Structures are given as C-alpha cells and as structure tokens.
Amino acid sequence: VAETGTSAVRGLLNWQVSNSTDAARLTMRKDRGTVVGTPAVVTTSDKMGMIMAEGYDGSAYRESASIEFGTSGTIGTNRVPSYIALSTSTDAAPSVLTEAVRIDNQQRVGIGTNNPVSKLHITGLSNTVASSVKLQGSIYSGINFQSDDANTDNRNWQTLTNSNNLGSFGILQSN
C-alpha cells in the first residue's frame, strides 16, 4: 500500500528494475493439497486465481466485475491448460456476476459464450436479441468472411459500406 490517506489514490505496486526483458508480475498459485508444502495436482475447472472488484451498495459490498483464471482440458506433467474469463455484473436486482468474454486453452475468444468453437465466437443474449459487430474506418468499413473448407471452394464474402452513411452497401462473393 503506497498511501493510507482517505483522499489519495492507493494500490499495490510491483516494480521490476533490471536491464532485461523481464517484467514485474503477480503470481497466483493453486494446488489441491491440504497442507502447505505438499501440493497435489489441480483438476479441470479449478479456479487458479481471480481478481475481483466489489462496490458498496449502501448495505454490503457486492461483486461487480472479475477476471478469473482457471484450468481446462487434460492436466498432465509439464502442462496445465487454462482459460481466462472476464465477468461483469448485470443491472438486475440483485446484480448477477455474468461471464462476458472467455479466452479458452486453444486461444479461441468467446463473447457471450463460455464455449467458443472458433477463433472468434460471438453469441447474442437470446434468440430474440440480435448480435452485432461494428467496424469503423475512415472511408470504408467492412468485414471479410473467408472459408478455408475444401467443401466450399474457398468462397469469400465481403461487405462494404461507406462512412458517410449514404446507404451504399455491397456484398461480394467470389471463389
């Protein structure tokens, strides 16, 4: 703790001073042992560490956001596959801590899903609420979908719109 006054900004400081590429780090460890110094192997779905933010609502501190580090996949000698999950609290009463983004052990990113099946997997809130992705550029914005599946003849689909909102829209399909 750098400052204990009531109006100063305070927090934790971890400082690396060296002429190298090493960095300061925060390490959180997890094992399933029951005695310090006698570690036991973690299992899939164990939480290895968490950074939690809580806010006071007038009667109690409530979990409001978190970053969770957990295990997933097959644990073995020299490997502990993992995931990172980012969660935020809803505006419901009471607030519910809800996972928003996950990076899994295959480096797939899920937004709105904790089980991504592609490099970027975006899921809407429900079947009645549409998901959307916004790309913004200086002149043209667009998104390019490409299939590398041999069964689709490597087709490409591209959408383009201009940024001055004149209503131009194009879809290009090519092999």
Q: What pLDDT does 67 receive?
A: 97
pLDDT band at 110 (very low <50, low <70, confident <90, very high): very high
pLDDT (mean) for 34-51: 95
Kind and range of the H or E element at 110?
A: strand 109-111
CA dist 103 and 42 (Å) reads 19
Q: What pLDDT does 129 receive?
A: 46
Q: What pLDDT does 90 receive?
A: 87
Q: What pLDDT does 128 receive?
A: 44
The residue count of the chain comes to 175
Cα dihedral 104, 107, 110, 114 in deg (nearest 10): -10
Q: What pLDDT does 5 receive?
A: 61
The residues near 66 (Cβ < 8 Å, ≥ 6 apart) are 50, 51, 52, 53, 85, 86, 87, 97
Distances (CA, A) of 138 to 135, 142, 167: 10, 11, 16
Q: Which two tokens stand for residue 50?
A: 């968490």
Q: What are phi and psi of 95, to 5 degrees?
A: -60, 145
pLDDT (mean) for 89-99: 87
CA dist 96 and 13 (Å) reads 30
How high does pLDDT run on average in the chain? 79
Tens digits of per-residue pLDDT, 63-89?
A: 999 999 999 999 999 999 999 999 999
pLDDT at residue 49 tops 90: yes
pLDDT (mean) for 94-115: 92
Residues forming a β-bridge with 60: none
pLDDT at residue 17 tops 50: yes
CA dist 141 and 133 (Å) reads 11
Tens digits of per-residue pLDDT, 122-164?
A: 887 554 444 456 555 555 555 555 555 555 555 555 565 555 5
Q: 47 or 92, which is more confident?
A: 47
pLDDT (mean) for 18-38: 92
